[in-house]
Amino acid sequence: MRLDAIGQIYRLPEFVQEQLRKTKAALAKNNGLTLNFGAKLRRPHRDCRSGAWHGAEGKGWRLEPAEINEQVVSQHLYTCHYPDPDLLIRTSGEMRISNFLLWQISYAELVVTPTLWPDFRKAQFFEALEEYTRRHRRFGLV
């Protein structure tokens, strides 16, 4: 398994950033699954078309609202270099996803654990994986 981190990693405490760097380096040569750690992801602009328009102007290029489509949006997400997730683990027992990776998780399996994130350990991770393996994925089919 490899590890990657997306989001505003620079806003995490320095010791957490350092541990992420060390762990990513230790796992970099693995070629199996990739575990993405998402941290401090900004909330998406409520109006995607006007948000992309303003973002585009700030970068020296322009998009007409009609030019914004699924592909354009997908190419500008933190996760643009990864396939959509197969599994989303939601900690703290909350039965909501809080706008987290809305675009990418349409066919992901959700596992909710009552464990709070600071207490989430290898045992809870393996429990979530075991629950995932018992699922029959239908990818939107009934």
Q: Residues 113-128: pLDDT tens digits? A: 999 988 999 999 999 9
* 87 and 129 fall within a common domain: yes
CB 89 within 8 A of CB 80: no
Average pLDDT, the chain: 83
* 3 and 32 fall within a common domain: yes
Which range (51-55, 74-78, 135-139) has the least confidence? 51-55
Q: What is the CA radius of gyration of the chain?
A: 17
Inter-CA distances, 113 with 1, 14, 15, 91, 132, Å: 22, 27, 26, 5, 12
pLDDT at 40 over 80: no
* 90 and 129 fall within a common domain: yes
pLDDT score for 74 = 85
Confidence of residue 45 (pLDDT cuts 50, 70, 90): very low
* 55 and 28 fall within a common domain: no
Q: Domains in the chain: how many in total?
A: 3
In a domain, 124, yes or no: yes
CB 20 within 8 A of CB 2: no
Domain that holds residue 108: 83-137
Confidence of residue 41 (pLDDT cuts 50, 70, 90): low
* 69 and 106 fall within a common domain: no
Inter-CA distances, 37 with 30, 85, 118, Å: 17, 12, 14
